[in-house]
A and B are shown apart, each in its own frame.
Chain A
Amino acid sequence: MDRRSTLKWMLAASAAMPLLARRALGERTAAAQPEGRGYGTDPDLTKIYHPGDLWPLTLTRAQRRTAAALCDVIVPADAVSPSASSVGVVDFLDEWVSAPYADQQADRPLILEGLMWMDTEASLRFGRPFAELGESSQHAICDDICYEKTALPQFARAAKFFARYRDLTAGGFYTSPEGRKDLGYIGNVPLLKFGAPPVEVLRKLGIDPPSS
């Protein structure tokens, strides 16, 4: 990650309050340095790499199926935008758990173990893997693990997994063109002039428009 940054990405981490409390303008990221041999230098930034070119991918066909099903329970298609799996979030997750960097390596066991838990739990409750369940059965499991604060003790680890998996699914989805559009993000285009906020927005906020 960048050694330096601005409040901008601090806010890009929007709701991540504990993270924000530690990281701010110009702060070093809290990520621990990887131990051992390290992971070498950066890839050639002028070359186009495909998934699996830089390091071997992890997920098996069965794991990908579970991963896709869970992604789409978290971010399903609706009237505004498509589902997470349809914009490549499973590929993103596979890259994520396979990458050699410290943050990603820290997520790997939680995610792999969690995907296995989903299928085991689905089999115990409904006799089939998670991906083969209907929506109400899938929701029955997810309802038990979707909020760490209220999850029963026996679901604590699964709830931790679900929280992280939801973070990553959202991260993958909302950085896709479809996800950006869903949020109404219209930046990253060159402008001749950076204008003041629209008067109707200011009115809603109870602010007199700037005179200049």
Chain B
Amino acid sequence: MAGTHARRPYQSLGRISLRNGPYDFKPYSRDGLGFDWPITYDDVAPYYDKVEMLIGVYGSSEGLENTPNSPPGCLLPPPAPLASDLLTQQRATRIGVPIIPAHRAVLTQQLDFRRSPALLHPGNLKAQKIIAADMQRRAACFWATPCGRGCSIRANYQSTTVHLPPALASGNLHILTDAMVSEVRLRKNGLAEGVTFIDKTNGSVHGVAARVVVLAASACETVRILLNSKSAQFPQGLANSSGKLGRYLMDTVGSSLSGQIPLLEARPPQNEDGASGDHVYAPWWLYQEQRAGKLDFARGYHIEMGGGKQMPGVGTMKGAEWLTGGSYGKKFKADARRYYGSFVGFAGRGEMIPNEHSYCEIDSTVKDKWGIPVLRFHWQWSPHETRQAAHMQKTFAAIIEAMGGRVKDGPTLDGAKAISPGGYIIHEVGGAIMGAKQESSVTNQWCQTWDVKNLFLTDGAVFASNADKNPTLTIMALAWRSAEHILDLMRRREL
């Protein structure tokens, strides 16, 4: 298995863990745009259940459209909302935006080490024992220290502390660090032989052979390795008979707006550190309006949000002149006390539809320091995305207004300016999409490349669409599903 990061890049994010809904696997069938996945929500649901039980996700099941419930026993209880969350909920609800508990991978209580292991690894007593022991070594959140800097008690989800220790305990994992994979080698019989890598400590070149090669190097890096793996059989890159390798790169539509809320000023001191991220969020809520043709874009977004008396940082009171009128001295200190903790921020995260103009290819001249050709990117938003970003801005401004708040420079209503540049949200997926047919996709529903049957891609590269839901949970669910399939094939000697 080749990865570029022991810590998967996705796992340094906000730990937001949302399931794709039934619509999200069949977007083309619903509105004629993009591609359907060759699987349905029901195919993936059992693996969402498992991943939630394994990593620990707080949240609730609200029964909202295309926002799946989790079966009992999967989710941990959500943390109490902050005062600003409750005010947002009260006011946003008045303008039709539902605010419900967020889903984030932080332990609000200890994992169910008695019940879950048997459900995660049925029939595998050794795995059950290892996982049960490891679950007991993860403590519930103590509501202090920022998740993003790593969690000493392993309450948050990060692959280094949650996946690697039990995998190492199995005795079946060997981690080779400082190994930069440059290509997948092919045997004459059309099977992958293994990978070539460069020892980053001294630049020497090595190879490893494998019965099955699994790439999970992050979408773009996986694509790069394959495009760089050229042979007589695959002159355009390995597993690229469709010509689709590198095509349909997607990111998430992002736009954000903050407001200052007078009602939240000068509250008594209160510890609002919380779970170091969203306690509540708004799932996409305008399905009916969209169906009725009332919106000028396809697909939706969810809203991530926060506020409260968070730990003061180097930016505390930065650029506050619009509120303070340029105060300094004792007035400035009084202003700081007044405004601290009175801000709310909203960030939209929306679906991008794959298009022909957003792709990557091998740069014909530039190489990295190891001599491996790098990728060159091409990017274009469609009006669906830019209009969505403008809609986000309008919505956030409306919520802030409903809270009696104010926005410094007002919302950005030009969608092309409101949208974060492609790649900024770092939800890069696609580039080796899965599909029902070999001629129009790179892998089948098992993340198995059509062209090379012992080569699997288990990162975001296989995404056929990029729903507003953050990709990590789906990547993990698909990887688990793929892993079970690989085991199946190996047991049946088909691999």
Contacts and interface: CB of A to CB of B under 8 A. Distances in A.
Interface of A: 2-28, 73-76, 78, 80-81, 139, 142, 146-150, 163, 166-168, 170-172, 174-175, 179-180, 182-192, 194-198, 200-202, 204-207, 210
B271 A201 contact: no
Contacts of A184: 268-269, 309, 337, 340
A44 B81 CA distance: 38
Given A149-B326, A167-B319, A191-B271, A12 B87 contact: no
A194 B143 contact: yes
Interface stretch (B26-34, B251-259, B284-292, B455-463): B251-259
Contact of B90 (A5, A149, A207): A207
Contacts of A2: 12, 148-149
A194 B420 contact: no
B162 interface: no
| Secondary structure call for the A interface | loop
A57 to B, nearest CB: 18
Interface string B132-172: 00000000011111111100000000000000000000000
B311 interface: yes
Interface stretch (B180-188, B212-220, B404-412): B404-412
B355 interface: no
The 9 A-B residue pairs with the shortest CB-CB distance in the complex, in nearest-first order: A147-B326, A13-B315, A7-B306, A17-B408, A15-B320, A24-B256, A12-B313, A171-B314, A184-B269
Contacts of A7: 14, 277-278, 304-306, 345, 347
A35 to B, nearest CB: 17
Contacts of B347: 7, 10, 24-25
25 contacts: A2-B148, A4-B14, A4-B148, A5-B14, A6-B276, A9-B310, A10-B347, A14-B317, A15-B319, A15-B323, A19-B315, A21-B412, A24-B254, A26-B470, A76-B329, A78-B333, A163-B319, A183-B316, A184-B340, A186-B269, A186-B270, A198-B268, A201-B270, A205-B264, A207-B90
B370 interface: no
Contacts of A201: 83, 267-268, 270
Interface in B449-495: 470
A21 B144 contact: no
A75 B276 contact: no
B319 A28 contact: no
B351 to A, nearest CB: 15
Contact of B257 (A21, A207, A210): A21
A15 B317 contact: yes
B345 A10 contact: yes
B366 to A, nearest CB: 16
| Secondary structure call for the B interface | loop
Contacts of B330: 76, 78
Contacts of A4: 12-14, 148, 426
Nearest to B321: A147
Interface bracket on B: 35 or more
A196 B81 contact: yes
Contact of B315 (A139, A171, A192, A198): A171
B267 A6 contact: no
Contact of A18 (B313, B316, B319): B319
Nearest to B149: A2
B325 A189 contact: no
Contacts of B327: 146
Interface string B75-90: 0000111110011001
B409 A18 contact: yes
B193 to A, nearest CB: 34
A139 B9 CA distance: 50
Given A18-B409, A27-B254, A167-B317, 12 more contacts: A11-B343, A16-B315, A18-B408, A20-B257, A73-B328, A78-B330, A78-B333, A80-B333, A149-B326, A167-B319, A174-B312, A192-B142
A3 B7 CA distance: 13
Nearest to B329: A76
A25 B254 CA distance: 9
A205 B84 CA distance: 9
Interface of B: 9, 12-14, 16, 79-83, 86-87, 90, 141-149, 254-258, 260, 263-264, 267-278, 304-323, 325-330, 332-333, 336-337, 339-341, 343-345, 347, 349, 407-409, 412, 420, 423-427, 470
Nearest to A164: B318
A172 B314 CA distance: 6
B145 A188 contact: yes
Nearest to B82: A197
A23 B146 CA distance: 18
A74 B256 contact: no
A197 B146 contact: no
Nearest to A180: B312
Contacts of B326: 146-150, 163
A21 B311 contact: no
A205 B86 contact: yes
Q: Which among A8, A21, A171, A205 has the greatest number of chain B C-beta atoms within 10 A? A: A8
B144 A17 contact: no
A73 B328 CA distance: 7
Given A6-B14, A74-B328, A27 B424 contact: yes
B87 to A, nearest CB: 5
A168 to B, nearest CB: 8
A84 to B, nearest CB: 10
A16 B427 contact: no
A107 to B, nearest CB: 12
Contacts of B409: 17-18, 21
Contacts of A163: 319, 321, 326
Contacts of B329: 73-76, 139
A13 to B, nearest CB: 3
Contacts of A78: 330, 333
Contacts of B257: 20-21
A11 B345 contact: yes
Nearest to B409: A17
A10 B474 CA distance: 26
Contacts of A6: 14, 146-148, 276-278, 306
A182 B332 CA distance: 12
Contacts of A19: 315, 318-319
Nearest to B142: A190
